[in-house]
Amino acid sequence: MDKLAKERRSWNMSRIQGKNTGPEIAMRSMLHKGGFRFRLQGKNLPGKPDIVLPKFKTAIFVHGCFWHRHENCKYCYTPKSRHEFWDNKFRRTVQRDAEQIRSLAGSGWLPLVVWECEIKNNPAKTFTKVQSLLQQRLLKMNGDT
């Protein structure tokens, strides 16, 4: 049984953003400060990645740990009520994420997943990891490897 009234639960759920979330904005800010130029919400790409770097042919998904089921993360908890509903919802989300990543990779794109907790807990390390992957990608695309 839900502890909140139906109206309050509906209000809470309506506040959950699908784009321009705090972690997305933080990642974009780090990329911009690092000199990377990008596009938002790749509408023409599978999964509509949060950040698209055309020069690197790279798509970044900034995943929320709860919704996308980041394993062994404290933010990846399962609600105590309606287990079957949540299990199905989470399973479909994880399956859809995997399909979108395969589709992007199959069309020559480098899909990167950055987790909400990584950005919150250690933004500098997260940016360094992404920056390194982008530099490797550029070298590979230019045939320097």
CATH code of residue 135:
3.40.960.10
**Counting beta carbons within 10 angstroms of the beta carbon of residue 83, is it exposed (0 to 12), middle (13 to 18) or buried (19 or more)?**
exposed
Question: How many Å apart are CA 100 and CA 97, to the nearest integer?
Answer: 5
The secondary structure of residue 142, as a DSSP letter, is T
On whether residue 8 sits in a domain, the answer given is no
On whether residue 44 sits in a domain, the answer given is yes
**Amino acid 142: pLDDT:** 84
Residue 144 reports pLDDT greater than 90? no
Range of the domain at 127: 19-139
On whether residue 71 sits in a domain, the answer given is yes
Q: For residues 114 and 40, which has the higher predicted lDDT (pLDDT)?
A: 114
On whether residue 91 sits in a domain, the answer given is yes
Predicted confidence (pLDDT) per residue in 48-101, tens digit:
999 999 999 999 999 989 889 999 999 888 888 888 999 999 999 999 999 999
On whether residue 145 sits in a domain, the answer given is no
